[in-house]
Amino acid sequence: MFVLLRVGTALVLALASGLLFSSVSNAAGPQHLPAGAVPTGATVPGAPFTIARSPSAPDGLVLNWDQSCRVTDTDYEVYEGMLGNFTTHVPVLCSTGGATGVTIAAATGSRYYFIVPHNGTNGGSYGSASAGTERPLGVASCRAKSVASCSSQPACGDGALDPGETCDDFNANPGDGCSAACLVEPGYTCVGQPSVCTPQPACGDGALDPGETCDDFNANSGDGCSAACLVEPGYTCVGQPSVCTPQGS
């Protein structure tokens, strides 16, 4: 889908981001959360990307679009390229502050524009080329590109907090704080998307947590540091993990 708009003697083309049917990624490194696509009005539900002349600025363009298909996409990039060569796109904005509408100055010549959602790490779909394939990176880009299909169903291990999940750390492995059912495991706290899970403070972990006066890496009484991680009478405990010695020794 596209919209042509004439600004002065130039043509402006609004390209709707297309739905990607398989994952495309050029992101290196561990566990990067892929991004989605902005609505097209067809394959990606929602109001499609539109361009209009600014009523207050003769050379201004008003761009509007709907939210990404991925809930973890919280911001957007705006790209511009020369009509006739659909690999010339470069960033106009690398962030809209989360807004789904901006006004920009129209560049000279005939141009095309499109919107790419991102999640802070990766950018999503650049839309579909005429052959139905994902539009490639252009001359420059704001972020690495890692695209998730908008047609995929929410699942444990996808890095997004879907209904019924209390965590999702981009895997379905138990024992790391987020279970195979994407539920926070006892003794852990998980935050973010994808979730980062850390052990909750506990007596016996070797660290002096709030309410503890010692922690000797065990929860045994009689060694100077009690099962409640309190210094026992007649002992002095120092350090983390605590080393307890009888007083006067």
- Say how many Å lie between the first and final Cα of the chain, rounded: 83
3-state SS, residue 246: strand
How far apart are alpha carbons 70 and 35 in whole angstroms? 7
How far apart are alpha carbons 97 and 102 in whole angstroms? 10
Does residue 10 carry a pLDDT above 60? Answer: no
pLDDT band at 178 (very low <50, low <70, confident <90, very high): very high
Q: Which residue has the higher pLDDT, 100 or 249?
A: 100
How far apart are alpha carbons 230 and 212 in whole angstroms? 6
How far apart are alpha carbons 95 and 98 in whole angstroms? 7
Tell me what pLDDT residue 19 has.
31
β 144-147/122-123 pair status: parallel
Q: What would the two tokens of residue 220 be?
A: 């045994």
50-79 average pLDDT score: 90
For 24, other C-beta atoms within 10 Å of its C-beta total 18
How far apart are alpha carbons 207 and 93 in whole angstroms? 46
Architecture of the domain defined by 2-147: Sandwich (2.60)
139-144 average pLDDT score: 92
Give 17-57 pLDDT, tens digit per residue. Answer: 433 222 333 433 334 678 889 988 767 888 889 999 998 88
Record the pTM: 0.60
Domain edges within the chain = 2-147, 154-200, 203-249
Q: Mean pLDDT for the chain?
A: 84
% of the chain beyond a pLDDT of 70:
86
105-121 average pLDDT score: 90
Tell me what pLDDT residue 148 has.
81
pLDDT band at 153 (very low <50, low <70, confident <90, very high): low
Tell me what pLDDT residue 23 has.
30
Does residue 147 carry a pLDDT above 60? Answer: yes
167-196 average pLDDT score: 92
The H-or-E segment that residue 12 falls in is strand 10-15
Does residue 167 carry a pLDDT above 60? Answer: yes
How far apart are alpha carbons 94 and 42 in whole angstroms? 26
